[in-house]
Amino acid sequence: MRILALVPGGIGDQILFFPTLDSLKRSFPKAEIDVVVDPTAVEAYRVSKVVHRIIPYNFEIRNSPADWANLLGVIRDREYEVSLSLCNNWSINLLLWLTGIRTRVGYGQSANPFFLTETVPRKPDQYLAHQFHDLLRGLGIATPCPDLAINVPEEDIAWADQDRAQLGLQNRGYVLIYSTASSALETPDTHSYPAKNWTAIIQDFQKRQPDLPIVAIQTPENQPLMSELTKRVPVLKISKPENLGQMAALIAGADLMLCTESDPMQLAVALKVFTLGLFGSQDPTKLIPQNERFLAIQSPTNKLSDIAAEDVLKKVWGE
């Protein structure tokens, strides 16, 4: 049996879809499950053992007829029996109909749902992983949505062990910080958290827990912010994972994850690391589960920069 899932969105969206894939595999243990995802999200499947094949397709742009026809051909050649689609796109629904897949499941609110054989209502007020999991009702699967879970490759675990040793963290807990791409400048930004705020948070930790190391994750996108933070707080330790598996292995060893809403936040949730996420305009109830391990602070103005460092620290220390 071959099953195809079409999952637009970034890495975080893919991780939120993992529980649906896990339930599919439990229900059809011998099935081959393939996914169609945006090229920038392919890396998410480094930390999943469920998926057999990944088919890149850019859902976010206006694809040429040749791109559309190429995807149609790839899907036809694989002779799938079931498809699950998160797409609200008439051309994708038409494509699935043309492939001849016998069972085509999607949301009833999608464009041209008559191209689908089974539809389920999308409940937009739910946690996103639960919204995705509801698609399985179109296959008669009514099991509860499992928690997010990932599988970290052994080589990435070994990398994290070596990285922690180089940072002097052997057999020690640590607080991990991740911030989305940001300028080192202090100008307000809807999608970034200022260096001055991170500095105040780190310095407070140093006063209260001087023996607890603080580690920040550096990526090419947030490198300017990390450079600024190391100038302000020279004792800050920097880790530079090169792929999603290495990042996950590093997160797995943390006592606490402080982060802006991001892909690493979803990794922390999947690894059940205590997490405090900072949200701008996004609704936290859609992106993190209701669980005492996972807390959120949402900006009163929809700008991350307007979350006061004092409010973050009060949430951390339970004040």
Domains of the chain plus CATH, in order, are 2-139 (3.40.50.2000), 154-317 (3.40.50.2000)
Determine the angle formed by the axes of helices 90-99 and 65-78, rounding to 10 degrees. Answer: 40
- Report the pLDDT value the prediction gives residue 191, as an integer from 0 to 100: 66
**pLDDT confidence of residue 188:** 47
pLDDT digits over 279-318, tens only? 999 999 999 999 999 999 999 999 999 999 999 999 999 8
Q: What is the pLDDT of residue 63?
A: 75
Distance CA 11, CA 46 (A): 11
Q: What is the pLDDT of residue 60?
A: 77
Q: State the pLDDT at residue 182.
A: 52
Low-confidence ranges of the chain (pLDDT < 70): 111, 181-191
Q: What's this model's pTM, rounded to 2 decimal places? A: 0.94
Listed residue (140, 149, 128) closest to 18, CA to CA: 149
What is the per-residue pLDDT for 65? Answer: 85
Q: Name the average pLDDT for the chain.
A: 93
> Cα–Cα distance between 250 and 229 in angstroms, integer?
20
